């Protein structure tokens, strides 16, 4: 939807021609969301900061290749990274709220079961 909203053409000097619009970079956005999620899981469930750094570095490398191949402007990639981080934060917040709700429901159900005994 963002590409249709901004309607920015790709650079004409592309080493590999790509169809479609340029802003924001979908590759950068999805790589940051996906590898950012994996990095978050690596830190949360194992404290593996090294893996998290490698995963985020891989995501940045994907964005840099888009600029190197001239299929995106640098601002496209930065906006893609920002969109990926925003999407990741939104999903993580939703999951935390969902877990809190499930914990309340399960504790409420356990309390009702104890009363019925």
> Could you report the per-residue pLDDT of 24-34, keeping only the tens digit for each?
888 899 999 99
Query: What is the number of residues in the chain?
Result: 117
User: Could you confirm whether 27 is annotated as catalytic?
Assistant: yes
pLDDT at 94: 85
Which of 7, 45, 70, 72 is catalytic? The answer is 72
pLDDT at 39: 92
48, two tokens: 């593996």
Which of 7, 27, 45, 70 is catalytic? The answer is 27
Q: Is residue 7 part of a domain?
A: no
Residue spans of the chain under pLDDT 70: 2-9, 14, 22, 101-117
The upper half-sphere exposure of residue 94, i.e. CA atoms within 13 Å in the direction of its Cβ, equals 6
Q: Is residue 104 part of a domain?
A: yes
Q: Is residue 12 part of a domain?
A: no
Residues spanned by the domain of 104: 25-116
Q: Is residue 16 part of a domain?
A: no
Q: How many domains does the chain have?
A: 1
72, two tokens: 């995106």
Q: Is residue 4 part of a domain?
A: no
Tell me the chain's radius of gyration from C-alpha atoms: 20
Q: Is residue 17 part of a domain?
A: no
Query: Mapping DSSP to helix (H, G, I), strand (E, B) and coil, where does residue 113 land?
Result: helix
pLDDT at 93: 87
Query: Mapping DSSP to helix (H, G, I), strand (E, B) and coil, where does residue 27 land?
Result: helix
pLDDT at 8: 65
User: Could you confirm whether 7 is annotated as catalytic?
Assistant: no
């Amino acid at each position: 939807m963002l590409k249709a909203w901004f309607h920015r053409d790709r650079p004409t000097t592309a080493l590999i021609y790509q169809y479609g619009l340029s802003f924001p970079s979908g590759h950068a956005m999805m790589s940051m969301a996906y590898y950012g999620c994996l990095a978050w899981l690596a830190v949360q469930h194992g404290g593996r900061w090294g893996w998290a750094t490698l995963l985020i570095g891989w995501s940045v490398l994907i964005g840099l290749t888009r600029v190197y191949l001239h299929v995106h402007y640098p601002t496209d990639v930065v906006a893609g990274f920002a969109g990926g981080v925003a999407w990741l934060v939104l999903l993580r917040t939703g999951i935390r709220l969902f877990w809190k709700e499930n914990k309340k429901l399960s504790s409420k159900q356990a309390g009702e079961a104890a009363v019925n005994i």
